[in-house]
Amino acid sequence: MADIDTQTLLGESKPTHQIPLDAIRDSKIVHINLYSGLAEVTRLFKVRVNGGLNELVVSGFTDCLKGDSVRLDSRGSITIHDVSVSRVNTTPPAPQTSSETIALEHQKNQIENSLTRCRKSLEWLEKYLNSIDVKSIGDITKVGEVAREYRKATEEVQEEILGLEKRKEGVEEELKRVVKVLKEPKEDRNRRNRMKVVVVKEGGEGDVEIFVKYSVNNATWNAAYDIRVNLQPGEKQKPVTIVYKAAIVQSTDEPWDDVQLSLETASPTHNLQLPTLQPWNLTVYKKPLPSSSGSAAPRPGSIMRAPMRAMRSVAARTSVIEADTALDEEEESSDEDMGFGAAVVSSKGNVNATYTIPGTVSVPSDGVVHKVTVVQLQLDAEFEWVCVPKRDTRVHIKAKVKNASDYTLFPGQASNYVDGSFISTSYQPLISPQETFPCSLGIDPSIRITYHPLSKEESKSGFVSKSNDKVFIQRLTIKNTKTVAIPRLRVHEQIPVSQDVQISVKMVVPALTLPLALVPASSSSSGPTTMKGELKRPQAVKVQSGGGGGVVTAQWDGTDDSSVDVEAVGRNGRLNWVCVVNPQETVNLTLQYEVSAPSQVVVLGL
């Protein structure tokens, strides 16, 4: 925004009072609205202004400030007439020296003094050797001893000189580097935004409050969770505790000290448009006339594929993909809780919400993850132990939790604890209020499942058309070593599915049936009887009825799930046993199925 003519702002010439301010020194951040990717900062300036026209020149705003996002509000008898934001290149003069250069110079002088002393020592040794008279030595055998001592002393001094010269070279190189860096022009790029605010004060001089709101980049938050599960809660205790946290990272060059914080779940978007469908036309392929050049005509298949490729290209160009910026896993994390207590859901909605953190928080501008607690939720859950022994005999613990709160649980990393012990980490998807979601709680080693080798029997039948009949028997053993019962253990298995009419697969044990039955739909004397396929969801088959042991039922996969289409139940050959296993109990399960095919047919996949 261009600066206005402050002298003619009120229609007459009046003196303008210029008040220089610094954003960091003369104001305080009172509120942060933090979004995923940016933050809206509210700064409070308490300024004493003169009566009439005042021009506040505020320097020191961060370079992360988005100039078109500035808004102002005031308290006091003033009128805000104009605000403008400009960039100022603040290049300070290069310093001539520093503590590092002084230390290096001192080190260099010490090395030079040591070199001087060593060279004088060599000169003294030379003079001493030259001053020795052989006649004064007397015994000729002492001449060799004097020579050896001289050689030893000079070698030690020369070796010291070489070491000192090498150290001096290193210090001089480091000094050159430091001086070069010191003389390079440095622009304070993080503090080069300046704001001009023109206000008119009614009456005389007085104190006013000005609130400046603006958006900054390099700030974000993501959801993080501690999911604590108690498998044996008390009578009035709910089994699942979810500590909902916000992982905050900011490097805006503005420290957030004791500020009120609101977390915004909305993701601001720019230039987002709904994609449109392009025309999709069909034409008849016309064979082209033979050309004189003799070039081959294109194949009909390529003609058909070309428009499809073009349409896929158009669809790719018109699609809109949004990607949220996640926290870098490699970033250093402080893992400190900066407060605890339930955040207030100050704005509710089916799409977005605002969470106001109680009290104040402090988040330094260091690019490190800092965590603040949003709320602690106590939720109900249904537990289930699940195993797929054909692939892995380990038993997984799963919970089906209902989010019976007003909080939307946004996607984020979760740390899972069972009975006070950390067991795993997982990714928590988006969960709306009142929605039920699954939660994986790791492995339960106290339940042991043995998957016995597959038994196979083969026979032939038929007089005219010989067929091969193969009977397969798979046995499983479950051992509960706990001192408490397992209320629901689901064991998944499968039988092969025929993809050819010549191959027949029949379930023998357990006796499960498919959900298809044909019944008359309508019948009248004036017309033929029509048949309609009425699908009925199959029932579970009781395998073990309790008594001294637990209860075991078998069913097709999806039988007890109302969201699964009835027609799809059992079609993929997958089944499961649902078991109630008492403490220290052993349960045996049997799966038996028969595969038949003509003798001349080779069956693949068995």
For residue range 130-173, what is the model confidence (pLDDT) as tens digits?
777 666 666 666 767 777 888 888 888 888 888 889 889 988 88
Q: Which among 121, 156, 183 is the end of a domain?
A: 183
482 assigned to some structural domain: yes
Query: 312 burial class (0-12, 13-18, 19+ CB within 10 angstroms)?
Result: exposed
255 assigned to some structural domain: no
572 assigned to some structural domain: yes
Residue 396: pLDDT over 70: yes
Q: Which residue has the higher pLDDT, 203 or 505?
A: 505
Query: Which phi and psi (to 5°) does residue 377 adopt?
Result: -110, 135
d(CA 576, CA 560) in angstroms, rounded, equals 11
Domain that includes residue 122, residue range:
99-183
The DSSP output letter for 433 is: T
Q: Count of H helices and E strands in the chain?
A: 4, 31
Residue 345: pLDDT over 70: no
241 assigned to some structural domain: no
Q: How many CB atoms lie within 10 A of CB 10?
A: 13
Residue 322: pLDDT over 80: no
d(CA 498, CA 316) in angstroms, rounded, equals 38
Average pLDDT of the residues of the chain: 81
The DSSP output letter for 509 is: E
What digits encode the pLDDT tens for the residues 426-477? 888 989 889 999 998 889 999 999 999 999 998 877 666 688 999 999 999 9
Q: Which range has the worst mean pLDDT, 95-99, 331-335, 354-358?
A: 331-335
357 assigned to some structural domain: no
Task: Identify whether the C-beta of residue 20 lies closer than 8 Å to the C-beta of residue 195.
Answer: no
34 assigned to some structural domain: no
pLDDT-based confidence at 228, cuts 50/70/90? very high
Q: How many CB atoms lie within 10 A of CB 152?
A: 10
Q: Where are the alpha helices (DSSP H) in 37-140?
A: 99-131, 134-137
What digits encode the pLDDT tens for the residues 182-192? 776 555 445 57
Q: How many domains does the chain have?
A: 2
- For residue 514, the model assigns a pLDDT of 83
404 assigned to some structural domain: no
- For residue 506, the model assigns a pLDDT of 94
Residue 27: pLDDT over 80: yes
Q: Which among 168, 183, 198 is the end of a domain?
A: 183
549 assigned to some structural domain: yes
Query: Which phi and psi (to 5°) does residue 462 adopt?
Result: 95, 145
Q: Which among 139, 165, 183 is the end of a domain?
A: 183
What digits encode the pLDDT tens for the residues 496-529? 999 999 999 999 999 998 876 444 444 444 444 4
- For residue 310, the model assigns a pLDDT of 42
